[in-house]
Chains A and B, each alone.
Chain A
Amino acid sequence: METPIVRHIPATAVTRTTRARVVSLLGPTTVASGLIWGILQPWRLTLLHPRGQGLWWLLIEPPLLVAVAGVIFALVVARPLLTDLEAHDASPR
Chain B
Amino acid sequence: MLPHAEMVHWGFAAGILLVGLCLLCEAIVGPEVWRMRPWRKYLWPGIAFGLGVCLWPVMAFFTNSSIHMYAHGSWAEVLMLAGGAELGLVHGRLKSPLWRLTWPLAFAVTGIAFIVHEQNPWFFARSAFLHHLLGWTFLVGAVIPLALVWRPRSTVLQAGFALTIVAVSVMLFADRDVAPVFGHLSQLAGPQHR
Q: Give chain B's interface secondary structure class.
A: helix
- The interface residues of chain B lying within 8 Å CB-to-CB of A54 are 1
* Contact between chains at A81 and B40 (CB < 8 Å): yes
* Contact between chains at A65 and B40 (CB < 8 Å): no
Tell me whether A78 and B25 are in contact in the complex, defined as CB-CB below 8 angstroms, given that A69-B17, A69-B18 are known contacts: yes
* Contact between chains at B11 and A23 (CB < 8 Å): no
Q: Which of B30-38, B66-74, B125-133, B182-190 contacts the other chain?
A: B30-38
Q: Which of B2-10, B48-56, B75-83, B143-151 contacts the other chain?
A: B2-10
- The interface residues of chain B lying within 8 Å CB-to-CB of A26 are 21, 24-25
Tell me whether A56 and B4 are in contact in the complex, defined as CB-CB below 8 angstroms, given that A73-B18, A77-B22, A77-B43 are known contacts: yes
- The interface residues of chain B lying within 8 Å CB-to-CB of A60 are 3, 7, 10-11
1/0 contact trace for A35-78 toward B, CB 8 Å? Answer: 00000000110000000001110001010011011001100011
* Contact between chains at B17 and A66 (CB < 8 Å): yes
Question: Chain B contact residues (Cβ within 8 angstroms of A): what range?
Answer: 20 to 34
* Contact between chains at B14 and A66 (CB < 8 Å): yes
* Contact between chains at A73 and B173 (CB < 8 Å): no
* Contact between chains at B18 and A88 (CB < 8 Å): no
Contact check: which of B3, B21, B37 meets A84 at CB < 8 Å? B37
Within 8 A of B (CB), among A1-55: 19, 22-23, 26-27, 30, 43-44, 54-55
Q: Give chain A's interface secondary structure class.
A: helix
Q: Does B93 sit at the interface, judged by CB under 8 A?
A: no
* Contact between chains at B34 and A65 (CB < 8 Å): no
Interface centre among A22, A73, A81 (most CB of B within 10 A): A81
CA–CA, A78 and B34, complex, Å: 10
- The interface residues of chain A lying within 8 Å CB-to-CB of B29 are 19, 23, 81, 84-85
Q: Does B28 sit at the interface, judged by CB under 8 A?
A: yes
Interface centre among A44, A66, A78 (most CB of B within 10 A): A66
* Contact between chains at B36 and A23 (CB < 8 Å): no
- The interface residues of chain A lying within 8 Å CB-to-CB of B33 are 81, 84-85, 88
- The interface residues of chain B lying within 8 Å CB-to-CB of A73 are 18, 21-22
Report A's interface with B, CB cutoff 8 A. Answer: 19, 22-23, 26-27, 30, 43-44, 54-56, 60, 62, 65-66, 68-69, 72-73, 77-78, 80-81, 84-85, 87-88
User: 8 A-B contacts, Cβ less than 8 Å apart?
Assistant: A23-B25, A43-B194, A60-B10, A60-B11, A66-B17, A69-B17, A80-B40, A81-B34
15 further A-B contacts with Cβ under 8 Å, apart from A19-B29, A85-B29, are A22-B28, A23-B29, A54-B1, A55-B1, A56-B1, A56-B3, A65-B13, A73-B21, A77-B21, A77-B43, A78-B25, A84-B29, A84-B36, A85-B33, A88-B32
